[in-house]
Amino acid sequence: MRQVLTISVVTALAFGLAATAGDAGQHKGGTASGDRMQQVEQQRDQDRSHSRLETRDQAKLHDNDIYGHELMTRQELNQYRQKMQEMHTAKAREQFQMQHEEKMRERALQQNKDIVPPGQGPIYRGELMSVQERNAYREQLRNIQSEEERSRFLARHREKMNKRAEAVNNETEEAE
């Protein structure tokens, strides 16, 4: 599954770069540019859904591919794989995954731990955030549908964290 996700991401990035390079000589308002951007966004949306619902061989799911794996026991991980393999429809798997993710969010909250969804890395200035803030950030980022919305979200977060860092630095200087 990790290979499928990696290939999907690389394909989407390559397609996006090709579209951007092709648009360099066109006007900003050209319809070819808009069509290409729409295709890139559709491909990313498909990749996100596909990676989330990839179920060809659930028995071979790596621990890191399972949402909340860091909060689960070895027995729970094996049971998750078994249940996913036993489900025969995409709808049933999706419903099971949604229930599982909710359960993991509750467990993370109870244990005051971070939960990192597959495919997400570190958070910009995450050390300045509480565990609850980091988990809320990751959940919001996971649910964003468009690249434009994602860019706005990341820019707002970066601005907020830079202000927070500045405030912490000012407090530290005043305390010295």
Nearest-Å Rg of the Cα atoms of the chain is 20
Burial 118-135 (b: 16+ CB within 10 A, else e): bbeeebeebebbeeeebb
How much is the pTM?
A: 0.54
Residue in 166, 161, 155 with CA at minimum distance from that of residue 134: 161
In 10 A of CB 174, how many CB atoms? 7
Looking at residue 36, its pLDDT comes to 58
Which of the 8 DSSP states describes residue 129? Answer: S
Question: Element (H or E) spanning 85, and its range?
Answer: helix 74-86
Amino acid at 75: Q
Q: Which residues of the chain have pLDDT under 70?
A: 1-59
CA distance 5 to 140: 20
CA distance 30 to 5: 32
Sign of CA dihedral 52, 54, 59, 65: negative
Looking at residue 176, its pLDDT comes to 73
